[in-house]
Copies of this chain bind each other. A is one copy, B any other.
Amino acid sequence: MVLTEKQKELIEQFGVLNEKYGLPPAECRVWGLFLVADKVELTFDEIMETLHLSKGGTSNALNRLMMTHHIEYITKLGDKKRYFRCKMNNWTQMTKENFEKFDDLNVILKEILKARTTKTPQFNNDLKEVTEFLDFVYKELMIAIKKWENRK
């Protein structure tokens, strides 16, 4: 598969952004490839060749993307190959999970608050407000997502 310069550029941009969130470069590029490619179904070899990845690297990236539900594969009768494709119906779930991690922080902050000295009332009060804010935003977010899911 041959990519245009624009496509390559977009893969890299998408990659850099996701690397900031801790994804390995190869995995980002594979994911990006699915988003920019002119076809929806890609085979192992196509991905490997197009991105100049090693077999192991390709295998690893695909498996990680499957574990995180960003892609899936289908098979075809009388064909041993797998056809990988991007799951697009997964983003609300993904976003939710993202915000749940964000809620984990709040759990720890509340624990910290409980354990704090009483000698810093101003600080403790500020921290309490933070936890209340995080509670509030989290709730509003879940409402928003639900609203989206039930739209129309």
Q: Which residues of A contact B (CB under 8 A)?
A: 6-7, 10, 13-14, 17-18, 20-22, 35-36, 38-40, 86, 88-89, 91-92, 95, 98, 101-102, 104-105, 108-109, 111-112, 115-117, 119-120, 122-123, 126-127, 129-130, 133-134, 136-137, 140-141, 143-145, 147-148
Known: A38-B117, A86-B123, A140-B143. 17 other contacts (CB 8 A): A6-B115, A18-B105, A21-B21, A35-B112, A35-B127, A38-B120, A39-B120, A40-B122, A91-B133, A95-B134, A95-B137, A136-B144, A136-B148, A137-B141, A137-B145, A140-B147, A141-B144
Alpha-carbon gap, A89 to B133, bound state (A): 11
Query: Are B20 and A92 touching (Cβ within 8 A)?
Result: no
